[in-house]
Structure 1
Amino acid sequence: MVLESRLTTVFLPIVYIIVFVVGLPTNALAIWVFLFRTKKKNPSSIFMANLALCDLLFVVWIPLKIAYHLNGNNWIYGEGLCKVLVAFFYANMYCSIAFITCISLQRYWAIVYPLSKRRRGNATSVGISVAIWLAVWVLTTPLYLYDQTVELSNMKVVTCHDVTMPDQRTMAAGYFLTMGLLGFFVPTVVCMVAYVQMLKVLCSSMTDEAIARQRRKAVALIVIVLVMYLVCFGPSNVALLVHYSLLLAQRTNNGYGFYVVSLCFASLNSCVDPFVYYFISEDFREHVRNTFICRSQRTAERLRVSFTALKSRKNTTTTSISSGSKRSSSC
C-alpha cells in the first residue's frame, strides 16, 4: 500500500527535488568558500568543509532517488547503482552526525575552556576527518554484500532498498540496529552533554549588557542547531530501530509510511547545513557576502561599460550622419 500510494510517488520526490535544488549550489558554495576563500584554517572550518563535502556527495545522487519514486518505485538502473545510492544515503547520515559531533565538541572546548592552551590543531582535525571518512567507508561496506533490489511480481516493479528478502533479514536488521545505536544515539548523548555545558557557561554571569547580548545570540544559535539536529536525525533513527526490530522479530510494520518519510526528512540536513555554517562562522558569513557583493559590482560594472560603449557608438554614428548631411547640403 505504501509503495503504491502518492506518499512515495508524489510527496517524497517533491522533498528530494527541494533537497537537490537547494543543497547542490549551497554546498558547492560552502566548499568553495572553505577551500579558496578562508585563509586562516581552523578546526571548525575543517570539520565544516568535510560536512559540506559529505552533503554534496549525497546530493549528486539524489536525481536517481527522484526518478525511482516518480517511476512508481520501480528501479531500472541495476543492482550496482542501487547499492551505491543506498550506501551514500546512510554514509551521508552517519558522516554528518559524526562531523556535527566534532563541531559541537570544538565549540564546547572553545566556550567552556577559552583560556586553555591545549587546543586541537589543524593537523589533529585533519587526522580526525580522515579517520571519520575511513570509518564510514568501512561501516557502509556491508550494504554492498547483500541484494538491495527485489522484484515484486504482483506490482511488476523492482524495488531499491524498500523490501528485504527473508534470507537477508538477520544481516540487514543486525547491521542497521548497530548503526542506529552506535552511529546516532552515542553521538547524540555526547552532543547533548556538550550543549548543556555550553548553555550553563553562556547563561552564567550575564552582567555586562554587551556580553549578555552576544551570549544570548550564542545560546539561541546552540538551541537552533540542537533542534535541527534532533529533527533531522531523531525520527529517522528511531523509526529505523523500530522497523528493523520488527523485521528481526518477523512482525508486520504498520508504520512503514512514517519510516520512509522520516528517512526522507533526514536528507533535509544536506540543504540545512550550509545555513548553519552561515550563522555559526562569522568568516563564512563575511566571505559569502563579499562573494555576492563583488559579483554584483562586477555585473554592474559590465552593464555600465556596455552602456557607455553603446552610447559612445550611438554618438559616433550620430556625428557621422550629421557630418554627411552637412557635406551633402554644402554640395
Structure 2
Amino acid sequence: MNSSGIVHHCNLTIQPLVSSILPPVLIIELLLGLPGNLMALWVFCHHLQSWTPNIVYLLNLVLADFLLLVSLPFRINSQLRLENWIFGDAWCRINHFMLSVNRSASIGFMTAVAVDRYFKVVHPHHKVNFISLRQAGGIACIIWVLVMSLRLPLLMNNLLIETNNVSVCRSFSSYKDPSLGIKLHYLVFVAEYFLPLVVLVFCSIRITCSLNNCQIDKKKLKRAVRSVLVIVVIFNICFFPGIATGMTGLYLQKLGSDYCDAYRLNGQLFSLSIGFTYLNSTLDPFIYCFSSTWFRKEIKRTLKLFGSVVLRLICCDIQ
C-alpha cells in the first residue's frame, strides 16, 4: 500500500537507471521527429489538389505524431526529475491519454495504408480503390473515434502514485487488483499489436505473391512491396519491445510477490522500451516517402528549393 491508497503486489520503486538513459533518447527523438513531421505537414497542406485516400491516411499519421511530440516534453521532464511528476493528477491522465492515442492511431493508420496498398495491387478493380476523399476522411474519423473511445479509461482512472514524497505517473504499475479501466487498457495494449500484425503480415504475403502475376505493372508492384515491408519493419521496431516486456510483466505479476525482483527488472526494461515506442514519430516520414511517390518527389523538390534559398543567403552574406 502506498500513500495514494492503491494496493500493489510489489513495493513501488523508482528507476534511476531508466531516468539516466531515457531522457537523452527521448530528446533526440523529439528533435528529429519534429522537423520531419512539420515538413510532411507542410507538403500535404500545400498540395491539396494532389490528395488521394492514401494521402489522407498519411496525413492523419502525421497528426497522430503531433500528439506524441506535444506530450513528450512532459515525460522528459518527469524522467529528468527521477520520475517525479509535478504537473498534477489531471495532466498525468491527459498526458498518458495523448501518448496512448498516438500509439493506437499510429498503428491504425499504418494498417490503413498497408490495406490500401493491398487492394490497389491484389484487387485493382475492387470498389475500395475508388472511394472518394470524403469517404477516406470518414474512415479516418472512424479510426480516431475508435482509438479515443478505447483509451478513455486512462482519463477515468487515477494514474498518479504517491510514494516516499515522490509523485509517479504510470499507466502500467504493480496493481494487486487493477480496476476495470486499467484491465481494459492492458487488453487494448495487447490487442492493438497482434491484430494489426496479422493484417500487415497478410498484406505483405499477398502483395509479394503477386510478383508472379504478369498482368501487373512490376515497377508499381515493387513499390507496393517496399511500402508495406517498411511499415511492417517500423511497426515491429517501435512496438514489439513494449509488447514483449509488457506481457512479461503481466505474467510475472500473476506469479505473485515471490517474483518481485524479476518484476522490477522487467519493469525497467519496459520503461526503456518506451524509447522504441516513441521512435515511431521519427521513423514515420520513411513511411510517407515509401508509400507515396508523389510525396517523395515533393520532398526532393522542397529540399532542393530550401537548399537554393540557403545558398543565395550565404552568397549575399559573403558579398
Identity of aligned residues (%): 25
Deviation at 1:116, TM superposition (A): 3.9
- 1:226 — aligned with what? 232
Q: How many pairs align?
A: 302
Q: Distance in 1 between matches of 2:15 and 2:106?
A: 31
TM-score normalised according to structure 1 size: 0.82
**Quick check: 1:157 aligned with 2:166?**
yes
Cα distance in structure 2, aligned partners of 1:216 and 1:175: 40
Call closer, same or farther: CA 1:126–1:213 in 2, change over 3 Å: closer
Q: Residue 137 and residue 207 in structure 1: after superposition, are their counterparts in 2 closer, same or farther (change >3 A)?
A: closer
- Flag structure 1 segments of 5+ consecutive residues without an equivalent: 311-331
| Distance in 1 of aligned mates of 2:157 and 2:29 | 28
Contact 1:38 1:287 in 2 (8 A): no
Q: Structure 2 matches for 1:89-108, cutoff 5 A?
A: 89-108=99-118
**Does the 8 Å contact 2:157/2:182 carry over to 1?**
no
Candidates 281, 287, 307, aligned match of 2:292: 281
Kindly state the Cα deviation for residue 195 of structure 1 after the two structures are TM-superposed.
1.4
What is the CA deviation profile of residues 260-300 of structure 1, one whole-angstrom value per residue up to 9, with x for unaligned ones?
12233111011100122122211111111211222233344
Q: Contact between 1:16 and 1:62, CA under 8 Å: does it hold in 2?
A: yes
Q: Note the residue ranges of structure 2 that are not aligned, 5 or more in a row.
A: 1-11
Asked if the contact 2:121/2:224 (under 8 Å) is kept, the reply is no
Report the equivalent of 2:157: 146
CA contact (8 A) 1:180 1:241 kept: no
3-state secondary structure, aligned to 2:83: coil
1:291 maps to 2:297: no
Match of 1:265 among 276, 291, 297: 276
Correspondence 1:70 to 2:99 = no
Root-mean-square deviation over aligned CA pairs: 2.7
C-alpha distance in 1 between matches for 2:51 and 2:220 = 24
Equivalent-residue separation in structure 2 for 1:143 and 1:249 (angstroms): 25
2:230–2:290 Cα contact (<8 Å) kept: no
CA distance in structure 2 between the partners assigned to 1:39 and 1:179 by the alignment: 37
Q: CA deviation at 1:99?
A: 0.6
Partner of 1:131: 142
Does the C-alpha gap of structure 1 residues 242 and 36 become closer, same or farther in structure 2, counting only changes over 3 Å?
A: same
Change (3 A) 1:93 1:163: closer
Query: Which residue number corresponds to residue 316 of structure 1?
Result: none
Q: Deviations over 1:147-198 (max 9, x none)?
A: 1111111xx3211106747476243551233203432211221121111111
Instruction: Decide which moves more: 108-117 or 64-73.
Output: 108-117
TM-score by length of 2: 0.85
> 1:109: which partner in 2?
119
Bigger CA radius of gyration: 1
- Between 1 and 2, higher relative CO (CA 8 Å, sep ≥ 6) is seen in 2
CA change 1:298–1:116 in 2 (3 A) is same
Deviation at 1:247, TM superposition (A): 3.7
